[in-house]
Amino acid sequence: MNQKCGFIALVGLTNAGKSTLVNRLVGSKISIVSRKVQTTRRRILGIQIQDDSQLVFVDTPGIFTPRKTLDKSMVRSAWSAVGEADSIVVLVDVQRLNLEDQVALLDRVLKAEKPTYLALNKIDQVEKTKLLELADSLNRGRSLKKTFMISALKGQGVQDLLLELARTAPEGPWHYPEDQLTDLPLRLMASEMTREKVFDNLHQELPYAIAVETEAWEPFDNGSLKICQVIHVQKPNQKAIVLGKRGETIKRISAQARQEIEAFLDQKVHLFLHVRVTERWNEDVSQYEALGLEGPGR
């Protein structure tokens, strides 16, 4: 069989379900999922083999109106992925549809003149007649390749999307080893897993601007691993929130993150978390590389 390899950008407004979809397509959790908007801050590659095709899914930050340096970097990363992809999947959350913003996004994506698919997500939450009306409205006058009705969370319709993307992938050699699931370094994967647990535990209390940095990664002779991470916050009161009363919150976050990191790495992990006040870290581009973010020049 001739090998095929396709890079597919997953694009959508914030909280459309892109990270949930890429995890479902890859068959493993490689992108964090949170109720908090704009949790994906950089492009993350998820890699899946389907017959003779290697599909490289690019989970992009959500599209929104950027205001600060980090916001601009995130949106720039998303649009850069569109320009570099072989094909594009525009994901729409049918529950939280802002039709005007969605149309504007779709029309801008189509200007890239790449094969573009529409995926209506969370279809189990909306009546079928409304879904058909929405699909008709978004397709009208636009050259979309195909529309898929899916539930990224439950997996409904996702296999059909996967098979179509594999069928239409361009011929070419595979770019990654067969057993590789993502391009993220293990240190950054561990940071992302901890960041997800911070959001899970402090969704209401904690502002958006936190970051997690893996500062030390030390394997032991007995096969276990010591990981030291810093949770960056911007204000002293945010540090107190993360720590919690008598340190209970940070202990809970640490236990949950350690469990997930151990499952991913399949080895015993000793996780040490420290909370540090780093004012305006999200405006300091010199820190972006250490935090796994893409700088303004990307």
Cβ atoms < 10 Å from Cβ of 219: 10
pLDDT in tens, 186-197: 888 899 889 889
Whether residue 38 is predicted with pLDDT greater than 50 in this model: the reply is no
Residue whose C-alpha is closest to residue 297's, from 79, 38, 77: 77
Give the mean model confidence (pLDDT) for residues 101-124. 91
**Regarding the domain delimited by 186-287, which CATH topology (the fold level of the hierarchy) does it fall under?**
GMP Synthetase; Chain A, domain 3 (3.30.300)
Quote the radius of gyration of the chain (alpha carbons, Å).
20
Asked if 4-167 and 186-287 have one fold, the answer is no
The CATH superfamily label for domain 4-167 reads P-loop containing nucleotide triphosphate hydrolases (3.40.50.300)
* Residue 168 structure tokens: 């239409």
Q: What angle do CA 129, 130, 134 make, to 5 degrees?
A: 120
Higher-confidence position of 84 and 150: 150
Whole-number average pLDDT of the chain: 83
Q: Domain extents for the chain? A: 4-167, 186-287
Residue whose C-alpha is closest to residue 180's, from 297, 45, 85: 45
pLDDT in tens, 229-242: 999 998 888 899 99
**CA dist., res. 182 & res. 45, Å (int):** 5
pLDDT in tens, 64-101: 444 555 555 555 555 566 778 899 999 999 987 778 88
CB 45 within 8 A of CB 56: yes
Whether residue 130 is predicted with pLDDT greater than 80 in this model: the reply is yes
Alpha-carbon separation of residue 146 from 87, 118, 165, 201, 236 (angstroms):
12, 6, 11, 39, 50
Please give the model's pTM, rounded to 2 decimal places: 0.72
- Residue 231, amino acid: I
Give the mean model confidence (pLDDT) for residues 208-225. 88
Alpha-carbon separation of residue 218 from 16, 62, 121, 195, 223 (angstroms):
37, 34, 41, 20, 10
Q: What is the pLDDT of residue 256?
A: 96
**pLDDT confidence bin for 61, thresholds 50/70/90:** low
Lowest mean pLDDT among 52-56, 113-117, 158-162, 294-298: 294-298
Higher-confidence position of 143 and 36: 143
Whether residue 115 is predicted with pLDDT greater than 90 in this model: the reply is yes
Bridge partners, residue 228, by sequence:
216, 272
